[in-house]
Copies of this chain bind each other. A is one copy, B any other.
């Protein structure tokens, strides 16, 4: 069936990073991959605890920190107070609408950013955050 297939795919992804594919870890990674919402710890916990009643919020924290350390998830610090997470490790930027608070991906060519100032630096990670208004909020704000 499909669910076990997905479980196996995620399980082997974790095993490749020497992470034991426990049920909680698989479900957390599955949640990260299925949603493009860049969820917070609380969002992940609240969603999964319905199906995994024994789940602890500490486990969500531990698991996400483990994923980040293993480079299969990344931290999104687009907000000042709460950390968000993303399992999409491809090079892409994040736009946050200051009105509806939605955070969505946008693509850009990483190589297009000229970083001659950083010659001699080892660059491990790039985060690009844009802020503004999405088209929907822009339309509803102009009609006042």
Contacts and interface: CB of A to CB of B under 8 A. Distances in A.
A108 B132 CA distance: 20
A129 interface: yes
A78 interface: yes
Interface string A60-84: 0000000000000001011110010
A133 B120 CA distance: 9
Nearest to A136: B120
Contacts of A98: 124
Contacts of A118: 95, 106, 130
A55 interface: no
Contacts of A134: 121
Interface string A5-29: 0000000000000000000000000
Given A121-B133, A122-B133, 5 more contacts: A77-B79, A98-B124, A108-B115, A108-B117, A113-B113
Interface of A: 75, 77-80, 83, 93, 95, 98, 105-109, 112-115, 117-118, 120-135, 138
5 contacts: A75-B80, A95-B123, A105-B117, A123-B132, A127-B129
